[in-house]
């Protein structure tokens, strides 16, 4: 019924495809392409004292990033934190995804709850929660001290704190695609691995790991850019010692009211993330190209 | 059949296996032995527990009770990856990310076999299944039959103690399936592989097996050679599941001359042999195979045991066989089959509505156990 309605609508207009795509295209145009274009435009504008914009074309803003050590350090730290967080998420995700995919049902449900429940808590409150845990006299250090291990000192306001906070925040985005990929592996393939002599560990290494790479790629493509673009978490957990590009951009735009320089930083961030994701996906694709097309 | 004799050279012995899932019995009291180089088929409808038994032998499941012995040594303490069995699944279960050669080499790699020996074993196994030259192909580039061969080569490469086949041909079309069955049987015999086959296909079980165990509701209903199972079923379930049978219920009587007769209403059945478990005066079921029935155009009807008048209702033509669906005068159905070569003159003259005198010899009457008298479903 609906289908026929759509068909007659489409064919009457003689352009069913474009007509149906129009709303989506319009949405993207208004909310993605236009702001991106504005950002690009800002990034090549000049600024005069007092924060007034002058319509001109200059690459000065970009030059400033690459000639100043301080800004480059932000870029490198951002990439380092994003990479560490992604790797940490990968490692933490496998046990969780395996429980979700193959664990007993109650256990899987509890895991899912623990994984998803934090999403219901406001991001700022969550980050403040972590400050209590990671403080010098926080929960973590107290726990370490109470079992008699040497206390590592301040964790809060370091890169480690940002990585922990971001990993907690974005873990579901890695676990869920990974679990979906693992569920798709035929149980009989794993059974075959076992029967033909692979211990559970080797079943994981030789079968589950390679066959779940598409899920890992999808998860990484989400976690990496989200961490690199994180703003609240590094502000609260990283403080002045581990703030990321997002914080620098905020500083430039809001505090220093230097929109052109902020826009240049933002453009650079977007460009880097696009490039990294492209390389990421190409690498994964290369790894799985020999077999992933079986469905087609 | 005697089970459990210490002197029997069983390669595989399954003893009194019980297994339940969530309080539901999947397998109960299953015992059987497979001698070296023999193929045993576990035959039964889906849900009868045959796959559970196979998974217990492989070590993918552990039984609640009972024992599994390979060459008279219990393997219950041996984890699945150290049991040394080979397995073939219905969906082939090839590793999609490995090439043909890597798939076949998998078991050898897991055994940490040297590269050169692995290579020669892989070559050997691929030659056995006639797949030389496809080493570098990926599984998705192969046809179903080729994938099945790769899966078989993977199982053969490790020289398994026991080969397990789980509905291995169910996904193949009929022609290919029959060709693969013959090929597999030839390989199994020439390599002297002790094999357990799980199937719901009676033809497959009868074609491939040295011994058939018919399973139902988690236990073994009857175990014996294919001809035993077909010609001498001991229960209604087996007589119905393997081949086609006519069933008549009646009272077992001692005839005039002391010979047993089953009184089934308008029909008198005189069996050649009555198993000892059935006593005179009890209600019994008699199974009659359709091919044992002879049809004659009715003449002045002679009445006597092992014959009955019936009207032909329709003929189902199946090539080599034609099935005549008949009805007795009291309304009970009867199926008789005619072979194309032997009865061909007949088949062309058959007309629905004709009255026939159907007769059979004494040995055709099989007195069997019948639980369906108490309402067990059969399919």
Residue B2: per-residue pLDDT: 46
Cβ-defined contact of A294 to B96 (cutoff 8 Å):
yes
Interface test with A, best of B82, B87, B95, B141 (most A CBs within 10 A): B95
Give the angle B229-B230-B231 at the CA atoms, nearest 5°. Answer: 100
- Residues 6 or more apart whose CB falls under 8 angstroms from that of A116 comprise A172
Contact B227, B238 (CB under 8 A): no
Candidate from B94-98, B347-351, B372-376 with smallest mean pLDDT: B372-376
Residues whose CB falls within 8 Å of the CB of residue A210, separated by 6 or more in sequence, listed in order? A287, A288, B97
Query: Does residue B351 come out as left (phi exceeding 0), alpha (psi in the -120 to 50 range) or beta?
Result: beta
Instruction: Give pLDDT, residue A5.
Output: 47
What is the distance of C-alpha B209 from the center of its chain?
A: 8
Contact B91 A197 (CB under 8 A): no
Q: Do B60 and A211 touch (CB under 8 A)?
A: no
Contact B169, B181 (CB under 8 A): yes
Q: Using CB atoms, pick whichever of B93, B99, B138 lies closest to residue A192.
A: B93
CA atoms within 13 A on the CB side of A137: 0
Percent of chain A as helix, strand, coil, to the nearest 5: 80, 0, 20
ipTM score of the complex?
Answer: 0.85
Q: Return d(Cα A108, Cα A84) in angstroms, integer.
A: 27
Task: Find chain A residues with C-beta within 8 A of B96's C-beta.
Answer: 189, 211, 291, 294
Give the one of A186, A290, A294 whose C-beta lies nearest to B91's C-beta.
Answer: A186
Indicate yes or no: CB of A192 within 8 angstroms of CB of B82. no
> What kind of fold does domain A70-123+153-295 have according to CATH?
MetI-like fold (1.10.3720)
Chain B contact set for A206 (CB, 8 A): 95, 106
Q: Which chain B residues are closer than 8 Å to A211 by Cβ?
A: 96-97
Best mutation target among B88, B97, B111 (most A Cβ atoms within 10 Å) is: B97
Q: Taking the CB of residue B163, how many other CB atoms lie within 10 A of it?
A: 24
Q: How far apart are CA A273 and CA A78, in angstroms?
A: 11
| Averaged pLDDT, B129-152 | 94
CB contact under 8 A, A290 and B89: no
pLDDT at A170: 94
Nearest to B233, CA basis, from B368, B337, B360, B363:
B368
Q: Which residues in chain B touch residue A291, judged by CB atoms under 8 angstroms apart?
A: 96-97, 138-140
Measure CB to CB from residue A192 to each of B83, B87, B99 and give the nearest one: B87
What are the structural domains of chain B?
Answer: 10-236 (3.40.50.300), 244-374 (2.40.50.100)
Average pLDDT over chain A, rounded to an integer? 88
What does the DSSP 8-state code read for residue A213?
Answer: H
Q: Which residues of B touch A210 (CB under 8 A)?
A: 97
Tens-place pLDDT, residues B328-338: 988 999 999 98
Q: Smallest CA–CA separation between A189 and chain B, in Å?
A: 5
| C-beta separation of A153 from A184 below 8 A | no
Check residue A45 and give its pLDDT.
87
Q: Are A85 and A165 in contact (CB under 8 A)?
A: no
pLDDT at B375: 41
Q: What is the CA radius of gyration of chain A?
A: 24
Per residue in B201-246, pLDDT tens? 999 999 999 999 999 999 999 999 999 999 999 999 999 999 989 9
- Tell whether the model's pLDDT for residue B367 goes beyond 50: yes
Q: What are the angstrom distances between the C-alpha of B332 and each of A254, B246, B248, B249, B301?
A: 94, 10, 9, 11, 19
């Amino acid at each position: 019924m609906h289908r026929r309605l759509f068909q007659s609508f489409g064919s009457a207009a003689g352009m069913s495809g474009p007509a149906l795509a129009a709303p989506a295209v319009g949405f993207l145009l208004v909310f993605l392409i236009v702001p991106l274009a504005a950002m690009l435009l800002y990034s090549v504008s000049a600024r005069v004292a007092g924060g007034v914009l002058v319509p001109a074309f200059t690459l000065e803003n970009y030059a400033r990033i690459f000639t100043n050590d301080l800004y480059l350090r932000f870029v490198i730290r951002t990439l380092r934190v994003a990479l560490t967080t992604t790797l940490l998420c990968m490692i933490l995700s496998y046990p969780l995804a395996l429980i979700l995919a193959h664990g007993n049902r109650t256990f899987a449900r509890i895991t899912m709850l623990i994984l998803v429940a934090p999403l219901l808590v406001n991001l700022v409150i969550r980050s403040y929660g972590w400050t209590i845990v990671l403080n010098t006299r926080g929960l973590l250090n107290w726990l370490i001290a109470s079992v008699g291990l040497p206390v590592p000192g301040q964790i809060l306001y370091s890169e480690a704190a940002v990585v922990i906070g971001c990993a907690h925040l974005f873990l579901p985005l890695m676990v869920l695609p990974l679990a979906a990929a693992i569920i798709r592996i035929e149980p009989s393939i794993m059974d075959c691995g076992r029967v033909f002599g692979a211990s559970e560990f080797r079943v994981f290494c030789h079968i589950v790991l390679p066959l779940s790479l598409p899920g890992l790629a999808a998860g990484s493509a989400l976690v990496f850019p989200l961490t690199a673009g994180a703003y609240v978490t590094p502000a609260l957990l990283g403080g002045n010692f581990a703030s990321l590009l997002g914080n620098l951009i905020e500083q430039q735009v809001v505090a220093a009211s230097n929109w052109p320089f902020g826009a240049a930083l933002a453009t650079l961030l977007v460009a880097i993330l696009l490039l990294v994701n492209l390389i990421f996906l190409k690498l994964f694709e290369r790894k799985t190209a020999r077999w992933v097309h079986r469905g087609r | 059949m005697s089970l459990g004799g210490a002197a029997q050279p069983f390669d595989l012995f399954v003893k009194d296996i019980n297994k339940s899932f969530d309080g539901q019995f999947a397998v109960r009291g299953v015992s059987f032995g497979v001698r070296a180089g023999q193929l045993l088929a576990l035959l039964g409808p889906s849900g009868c527990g045959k796959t559970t038994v196979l998974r217990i032998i492989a070590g993918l499941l552990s039984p609640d009770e009972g024992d599994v012995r390979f060459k008279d040594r219990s393997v219950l303490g041996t984890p699945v990856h150290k049991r040394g069995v080979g397995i073939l699944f219905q969906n082939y279960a090839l590793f999609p990310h490995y090439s043909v050669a890597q798939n076949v080499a998998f078991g050898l790699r897991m055994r940490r076999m040297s590269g050169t020996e692995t290579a020669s074993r892989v070559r050997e196994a691929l030659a056995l299944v006639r797949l030389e030259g496809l080493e570098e192909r990926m599984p998705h580039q192969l046809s179903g039959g080729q994938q099945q061969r790769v899966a078989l080569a993977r199982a053969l490469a490790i020289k398994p103690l026991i080969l397990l086949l789980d509905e291995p041909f169910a996904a193949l079309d009929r022609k290919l399936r029959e060709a693969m069955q013959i090929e597999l049987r030839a390989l199994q015999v020439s390599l002297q592989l002790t094999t357990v086959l799980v199937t719901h296909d009676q033809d497959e079980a009868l074609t491939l097996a040295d011994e058939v165990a018919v399973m139902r509701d988690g236990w073994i209903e009857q175990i014996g050679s294919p001809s035993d199972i077909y010609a001498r079923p001991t229960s209604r379930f087996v007589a119905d599941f393997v081949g086609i049978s006519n069933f008549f219920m009646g009272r077992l009587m001692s005839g005039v001359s002391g010979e047993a007769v089953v009184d089934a209403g308008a029909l008198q059945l005189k069996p050649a042999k009555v198993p000892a478990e059935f006593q005179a005066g009890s209600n019994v079921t008699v199974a009659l195979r359709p091919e044992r029935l002879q049809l004659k155009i009715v003449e002045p009807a002679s009445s006597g045991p092992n014959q009955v008048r019936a009207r032909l209702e329709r003929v189902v033509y199946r090539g080599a066989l034609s099935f005549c669906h008949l009805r007795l005068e009291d309304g009970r159905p009867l199926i008789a089959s005619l072979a194309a070569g032997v009865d061909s003159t007949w088949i062309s003259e058959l007309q629905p509505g004709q009255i026939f005198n159907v007769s059979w010899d004494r040995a055709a009457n099989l007195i069997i156990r019948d639980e369906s008298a108490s309402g067990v479903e059969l399919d």
